Amino acid sequence: MELGWLLWGAAVLLLLHVLMELSPAVNFVLRIGFYSLLCVVCSALTAPVCLLVNGGRTVKNMRIIKTVVKTFKYFFGLRFEVKGLENFEVKGPAIIVSNHQSILDMMGLMEVLPDDCVQVGKKELMYAGTVGLIIYLGGVIFINRKSTTSAKMVMAEVAKTMATDNVPVIPVVYSSFTTFYNPKKNLFTSGKIKVEVLPPIETKGLTSDDVSDLTDRCFCTMRETLFRLSGRPSEAKDSS
């Protein structure tokens, strides 16, 4: 009886493997499904550990969460090439900004996220089952993007900290995922992601009148770095 189940199991796995090889759509759906399942299961298993070790909601739990999430890349054949981690070595607090691309961003973020770094995320993530629970335990600050007042209050606190503590902005740029991940083309394969932590952009002496210029500087710097890391330097030149 057990041998029969083993044979059936082997046959199903073989069939799935053949389908994944023959159909990009099947390959994409199965890999996304596995990624989602991995997030849910690992969140459920990690939450009790965070509660036992640190007693509740605290940014210290991100050390545990990072350790777990950093194993995900091995399941999907992803490699991260990270440069510039020394740029995180600043005195006092800093604001870290990065480019958003897909649901895979979490894996890249955990590769470089410094200890004691408080993240900001959309409020909807709180209701994502065990994933929402583990994010909450990690000390993430949630913003209600549908409420302008709520979002402004959080960002006002960030601006206040930048003004009083001379907080620098540290851009983090990830190369384009499109060579191995593209939902429109049902593409999800193994690949390499280049990550670069850029030098801090100082905010000392700036006022609220300088916010627009600071935003433009960050955007342009990150855009040029994105094109360079993704092997499209000509686009960076055209945009300047």
- The pLDDT of residue 20: 60
What was the pLDDT predicted at 120? Answer: 83
Residue 5 pLDDT: 62
Q: How confident is the model at residue 131 (pLDDT cuts 50, 70, 90)?
A: very high
Lowest mean pLDDT of 23-27, 147-151, 186-190, 233-237, name the range.
233-237
**227 has a pLDDT exceeding 90:** yes
pLDDT: is 15 or 190 the higher one? 190
Domain definitions of the chain by residue range: 2-239
Burial of residue 12 (CB within 10 Å: 0-12, 13-18, 19+) is: exposed
**How would you write 47-101 as a 3-class SS string?**
HHHHHHHHCCCCCCHHHHHHHHHCCHHHHHCEEEEEECHHHHCCCCCCEEEECCC
Q: Tokens for 197, please give them.
A: 């932590």
Give bridge partners of residue 78 from the DSSP assignment: 191
**Residue 6: what pLDDT?**
64
Residue 119: band (very low, low, confident or very high) from pLDDT cuts 50, 70, 90: confident
**C-alpha 46: how far from chain center:** 18
Is pLDDT at 148 greater than 60 in this prediction?
Answer: yes
pLDDT, one tens digit per residue, over 12-38 is 556 555 556 657 888 898 889 989 999
Position 171 confidence tier, pLDDT thresholds 50, 70, 90:
very high
> pTM for this one?
0.80
169-174 and 141-143 as β-strands: parallel, antiparallel, unpaired? unpaired
pLDDT attached to residue 107: 92
